[in-house]
Structure 1
Amino acid sequence: MVTIKEIAKAVGVSPGTVSRVLNYDQTLSISEIKRQAIIETAEALNYATPRARKNALLPQLSIPMGLHAEVAASIAVIHFLAPNEELVDPYYVGVRLAIEVRCREYKLEIARVFNPDVPVDLAQLAGISAVIVVGHRAKAEIEAIARMCPHLVMADYNPRMPQFDCVRADLGEATTSILDSMESAGYQRIGFVGGYELMDNEALRQGEQRCKAYIEWHQARGRFDENLLALGQSERFGQNLRLETGYQQAKSLIALQNRPDAILAANDNMAIGTYRAIQEAGLSIPEDIAVVAFNDIPVAQFLMPPLSTMRIPGELIGEVAVDLLVERLNGRDYSKHVTLPTEMIWRGSARKPPAD
Structure 2
Amino acid sequence: MATIKDIASKSNVSITTVSRVLNHDTSLSVTEETRQRIIEAANQLNYQTVRGRKKQLQNSSPTYKFGILMCQSLEEELSDPYFLSIRHGIESQCKHFNIEVNEVYRMSDFHLHQLNVHLDGLIIAGKIDESLVDTIHEQIKHLVFVDHSPDENRFDSIVIDFEKSTWIALEHLFSLGYTNIGYIGGMQGKHIKANEKREIEDERYVFFTKKMKELGNYNDAHVFVGEFTMSDGYRLMKEAIQKGNLPEAYFIASDPMAVGALRALQEAAIKVPEDVAIVSFDNVEMAQFASCPLSTIHVPTDTMGKTSVKLLLDRLQGRDIPLKVNVPTTFVQRESCGALAKTRHVPN
TM-score norm. by structure 2 comes to 0.76
One-letter amino acid matched to 1:246: G
Q: CA deviation at 1:347?
A: 0.6
Q: Tell me the residue number matched to 1:291.
A: 278
Q: Could you tell me how far apart the structure 2 residues matched to 1:120 and 1:336 are?
A: 28
Larger radius of gyration: 2
Aligned residues: 286
Q: Tell me the residue number matched to 2:10.
A: none
Contact between 2:280 and 2:297, CA under 8 Å: does it hold in 1?
yes
Q: Tell me the residue number matched to 1:203.
A: 199
Whether 1:212 aligns to 2:214 is no
One-letter amino acid matched to 1:70: S
Partner secondary structure for residue 108 of structure 2: coil
Partner secondary structure for residue 224 of structure 2: strand
Q: Counterparts in 2 of 1:74-223, with a 5 A limit? A: 74-122=65-113, 124-160=115-151, 162-199=153-190, 201-205=197-201, 208-223=202-217
- Correspondent of 1:339 among 326, 335, 348: 326
Q: Tell me the residue number matched to 1:250.
A: 237
Q: Could you tell me how far apart the structure 2 residues matched to 1:306 and 1:104 are?
A: 33
One-letter amino acid matched to 1:272: V
Contact between 2:123 and 2:308, CA under 8 Å: does it hold in 1?
yes
Contact between 1:254 and 1:260, CA under 8 Å: does it hold in 2?
no
Whether 1:281 aligns to 2:268 is yes
Contact between 1:191 and 1:253, CA under 8 Å: does it hold in 2?
no
Partner secondary structure for residue 125 of structure 1: coil
Whether 1:304 aligns to 2:295 is no
Contact between 2:183 and 2:222, CA under 8 Å: does it hold in 1?
yes
Q: CA deviation at 1:161?
A: 5.0
Contact between 1:122 and 1:148, CA under 8 Å: does it hold in 2?
no
Deviation per CA, 1:17-76, whole angstroms, max 9, x where unpaired?
xxxxxxxxxxxxxxxxxxxxxxxxxxxxxxxxxxxxxxxxxx99x88xx99832521111
Q: Could you tell me how far apart the structure 1 residues matched to 2:313 and 2:203 are?
A: 28
Q: Could you tell me how far apart the structure 2 residues matched to 1:352 and 1:264 are?
A: 15
Q: CA deviation at 1:284?
A: 0.6
One-letter amino acid matched to 2:244: Q
Partner secondary structure for residue 178 of structure 2: coil
Q: CA deviation at 1:123?
A: 5.2
Q: Tell me the residue number matched to 2:317.
A: 330
Partner secondary structure for residue 107 of structure 1: coil
Partner secondary structure for residue 84 of structure 1: helix
- Correspondent of 1:224 among 218, 224, 232: 218
Contact between 1:317 and 1:340, CA under 8 Å: does it hold in 2?
yes
Partner secondary structure for residue 294 of structure 1: strand
Q: Could you tell me how far apart the structure 2 residues matched to 1:98 and 1:273 are?
A: 26
Root mean square deviation, CA, Å: 2.4
Contact between 1:67 and 1:108, CA under 8 Å: does it hold in 2?
no
One-letter amino acid matched to 1:337: K
Whether 1:262 aligns to 2:249 is yes
Unpaired runs of 5+ residues, structure 1, are 1-58, 233-239
Deviation per CA, 1:173-231, whole angstroms, max 9, x where unpaired?
110111011011011211111122234554332xx211111011101112222222211
Q: Counterparts in 2 of 1:27-46, with a 5 A limit? A: none
